[in-house]
């Protein structure tokens, strides 16, 4: 009996794009983008306006701070966009940071979920703001929905777009530690990055809260620093944020130390042209950024159920006494 002829390597089944992580993350990106477009289009058609609130009191100093914060945030977003664009063009492909930054920016349509059932975060009413698009998200029903606002130059649009800074703040020191201890395995790397994430978040939250831009209204007091005050820092938020950022940080570190292709981009090279490869990568970043945001907001809603009541010293400019 003669041996079966060998199958030439060229005859082996080719790997298909649809079987790769990049394809499914890109598909996730398409779904989230379509959902956000559906919500925002209905909101825009119904009418965009800036609700006028009265009966509060804010000092000139505090008002000047929030004006300056918005200006600096916009400049920071422009700077990040320029850096990410330049780095992507230099590499000839959408970088991991560029993809997830785009995903975070697109995910800003999910912002009203922070008030899905209860108002977990209150926003300074003297920020540039618009009426919330929450009513066009299925199931959204917080108390006093007419008082809910979105601050696109701070907490909402620009704020979400700058979440990449949060990732970098955790990733850069993490990279230094991993480079210092190259023999460490994945368990030690993850543990280190998670610890850095909790510390990083607490520091970022402290800085943000001191600007008076927002405040936690339903922090779970047993696990909250400065509990009972408007500048409270929920440790649950630090843990939640670490869940949100850590997967991206680990991919970022492994790409730099081991040359590992970020998981969400694996298989994008199978697209037929460089342009299509970059489209897949961009959509994959949108998908990963939006899913991470959804998980973060869902956990925030969960903590809010067990939190509260709102601190009695919450400034009046975050809780208006009347709406007109």
Q: What is the CA radius of gyration of the chain?
A: 22
Contact by Cβ (8 Å): 242, 198: yes
Give the pLDDT of residue 14.
54
Per-residue pLDDT in tens (0 to 9) along the chain, 324 residues: 444 454 444 433 457 999 999 999 999 999 999 999 999 999 999 999 998 776 678 889 999 999 999 999 999 999 999 999 999 999 999 999 999 999 999 999 999 999 998 888 889 999 999 999 999 999 999 988 888 899 999 999 999 999 999 999 999 999 999 889 888 887 888 888 888 888 888 888 888 888 999 998 888 888 888 888 888 888 877 777 788 889 999 999 989 988 999 999 999 999 989 999 999 999 999 999 999 999 989 888 888 888 878 888 888 888 754 433
187 half-sphere exposure, CB direction, 13 A CA radius: 0
287 half-sphere exposure, CB direction, 13 A CA radius: 20
Q: How far apart are CA 31 and CA 12, in angstroms?
A: 33
Give the pLDDT of residue 277.
96
Give the pLDDT of residue 40.
98
Give the pLDDT of residue 320.
52
**pTM, whole model, 2 decimals?**
0.89
Could you tell me the residue ranges of all domains in the chain? 67-317
- State the residue for tokens 């949108």: 286
Give the pLDDT of residue 149.
92
């Amino acid at each position: 009996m003669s041996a079966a002829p060998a199958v030439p390597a060229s005859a082996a089944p080719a790997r298909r794009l649809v079987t790769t992580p990049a394809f499914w993350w890109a598909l996730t990106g398409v779904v989230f983008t379509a959902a956000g477009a559906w919500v925002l289009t209905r909101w825009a058609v119904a009418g965009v306006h800036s609700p006028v609130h009265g009966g509060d009191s804010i000092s000139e100093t505090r008002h000047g701070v929030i004006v300056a914060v918005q200006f600096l945030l916009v400049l920071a977003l422009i700077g990040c966009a320029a850096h990410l664009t330049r780095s992507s063009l230099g590499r000839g492909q959408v970088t991991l940071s560029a993809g997830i930054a785009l995903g975070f920016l697109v995910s800003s349509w999910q912002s009203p979920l922070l008030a899905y059932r209860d108002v977990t975060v209150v926003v300074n009413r003297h920020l540039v703001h618009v009426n919330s698009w929450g009513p066009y998200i299925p199931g959204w029903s917080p108390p006093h929905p007419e008082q809910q606002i979105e601050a696109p130059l701070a907490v909402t649009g620009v704020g979400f777009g700058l979440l990449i800074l949060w990732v970098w703040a955790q990733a850069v020191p993490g990279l230094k530690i991993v480079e210092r201890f190259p023999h460490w395995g994945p368990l030690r790397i993850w543990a280190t990055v998670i610890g850095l994430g909790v510390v990083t978040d607490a520091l970022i939250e402290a800085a943000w809260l001191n600007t008076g831009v927002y405040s936690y209204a339903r922090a779970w007091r047993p696990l909250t620093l400065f509990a009972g005050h408007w500048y409270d820092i929920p440790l649950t938020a630090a843990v939640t944020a670490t869940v949100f950022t850590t997967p991206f940080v680990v991919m970022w570190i492994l790409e730099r130390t081991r040359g590992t292709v970020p998981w969400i981009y694996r298989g994008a090279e199978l697209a037929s042209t460089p342009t299509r490869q970059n489209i897949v990568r961009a959509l994959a970043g949108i998908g990963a950024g939006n899913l991470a945001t959804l998980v973060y907001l869902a956990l925030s809603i969960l903590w809010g159920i067990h939190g509260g009541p709102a601190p009695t010293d919450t400034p009046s400019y975050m809780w208006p006494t009347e709406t007109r």
